């Protein structure tokens, strides 16, 4: 949040001096970074609140709700930027003070690169998914700052305002893409989308490493914040004693938990060959 605030001030002054639309687009992006980081900070705090009597599964979906809000902010800002690009195309103005725009872009590059290094350190120490996603976002910002600086130089040297507009348009398209990606990912979490196929396959392989298991069914997965939820039924020989079957189930559950340390696992043991009634199955 501090990096974003510093860049907002620097880019705001540079935009006033240069009158560059691409610098304005970069300013909008930094303003969104500040809002996004603030929302994420609050959401992560809420997501880490332990489960209580009213929220038995925890508060992990707070991150997804924040993501939907972020997607809306980003999409609205991209729309406003596109309107600015159209207005500047119809009423062109020359870009001024090339040196100022270039200096601010260079400053933004250095500051963003430092932030990316720190985020990489944090990801290595914590394996935080949220910080990893934020680092990916700032990596794109790093490239954006290079484009803005190059666009301002090319516009002034070639005396072609359309170059500045093209850079701004490209950033607007990037913002729309970001809004779509963030929104889709957040909605997937809110709608309890299954974990990736590779994760589900790991669960199945872990179960089948135990020779006593005759089958597996009703594997259901989802995620909320940093927590994954894995539910499954395993089938064992009905001749096994209750204590032995329970012990096998415990061992399998422990191995799944080792593969997914942040997961909550519900494992149900069924005797092979005994038909079950599934209320969620339309066929009964």
Kindly give, in sequence order, each residue whose CB lies less than 8 Å from that of residue 199, ignoring residues fewer than 6 positions away.
221, 228, 260
Rounded-to-10 torsion of CA 261, 267, 272, 276? -140
Confidence of residue 282 (pLDDT cuts 50, 70, 90): very low
Kindly give, in sequence order, each residue whose CB lies less than 8 Å from that of residue 69, ignoring residues fewer than 6 positions away.
39
Confidence of residue 281 (pLDDT cuts 50, 70, 90): very low
Residue 93 pLDDT > 70, yes or no?
Answer: no
Residue 89 pLDDT > 80, yes or no?
Answer: no
Beta strands in the chain (DSSP E): 215-224, 227-236, 263-271
pLDDT of 187-207, one tens digit each? 887 888 899 899 999 999 999
Q: What is the pLDDT of residue 234?
A: 94
Query: In the numeric block, which tokens belong to residue 72?
Result: 């809306």
| Dihedral angle sign, alpha carbons of residues 80, 85, 91, 95 | positive
Angle at 50 between CA 47 and CA 51, to 5 degrees: 100
Higher pLDDT, 171 or 13: 13
DSSP string, 155-202: HHHHT-HHHHHHHHHHHHHHHHHHHHHHHHHHHHHHTTPPPPHHHHHH
Kindly give, in sequence order, each residue whose CB lies less than 8 Å from that of residue 219, ignoring residues fewer than 6 positions away.
200, 203, 204, 230, 231, 232, 233
Most confidently predicted of 4-13, 100-109, 184-193, 267-276: 4-13
Most confidently predicted of 223-232, 240-249, 274-283: 240-249
Q: What is the mean pLDDT of residues 234-243?
A: 92
Q: What is the pLDDT of residue 178?
A: 76
pLDDT of 124-149, one tens digit each? 887 665 666 667 667 767 766 676 66
Residue 262 pLDDT > 80, yes or no?
Answer: yes
Residue 86 pLDDT > 70, yes or no?
Answer: yes
Give me the domains of the chain, ranges plus CATH numbers.
2-190 (1.20.1510.10), 197-271 (3.30.70.1350)
What is the DSSP code (8-state) at residue 55? Answer: B
* Backbone φ and ψ of 238, nearest 5°: -65, -15
The pTM of the full predicted model, rounded to 2 decimals, is 0.64
Per cent of the chain over pLDDT 70 is 81
Q: What is the pLDDT of residue 257?
A: 94
Bridge-based pairing state of the strands 227-236 and 263-271: parallel
């Amino acid at each position: 949040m501090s990096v974003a605030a510093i860049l907002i001030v620097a880019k705001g002054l540079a935009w006033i001096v240069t009158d560059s639309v691409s610098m304005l687009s970069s300013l909008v992006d930094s303003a969104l970074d500040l809002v996004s980081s603030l929302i994420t900070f609050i959401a992560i705090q809420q997501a880490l609140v332990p489960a209580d009597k009213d929220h038995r599964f925890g508060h992990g979906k707070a991150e997804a709700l924040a993501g939907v809000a972020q997607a809306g902010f980003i999409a609205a800002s991209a729309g406003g930027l596109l309107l600015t690009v159209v207005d500047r195309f119809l009423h062109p103005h020359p870009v001024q003070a090339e040196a100022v725009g270039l200096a601010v872009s260079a400053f933004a590059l250095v500051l963003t690169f430092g932030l990316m290094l720190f985020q990489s350190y944090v990801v290595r120490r914590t394996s935080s998914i949220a910080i990893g996603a934020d680092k990916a976002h700032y990596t794109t910002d790093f490239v954006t700052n290079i484009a803005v600086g190059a666009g301002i130089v090319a516009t002034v040297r070639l005396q072609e305002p359309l170059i500045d507009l093209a850079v701004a348009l490209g950033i607007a398209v990037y913002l729309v893409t970001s809004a779509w990606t963030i929104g889709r990912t957040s909605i997937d979490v809110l709608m309890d989308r299954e974990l990736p196929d590779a994760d589900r396959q790991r669960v199945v392989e872990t179960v089948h490493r135990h020779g006593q298991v005759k089958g597996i069914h009703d594997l259901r997965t989802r995620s909320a914040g940093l927590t994954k939820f894995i539910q499954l039924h395993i089938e064992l020989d009905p001749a096994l004693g209750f204590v032995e079957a329970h012990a096998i189930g415990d061992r399998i559950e422990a191995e799944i938990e080792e593969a997914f340390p942040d997961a909550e696992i519900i494992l149900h043991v069924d005797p092979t060959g005994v038909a079950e009634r599934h209320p969620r199955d339309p066929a009964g």
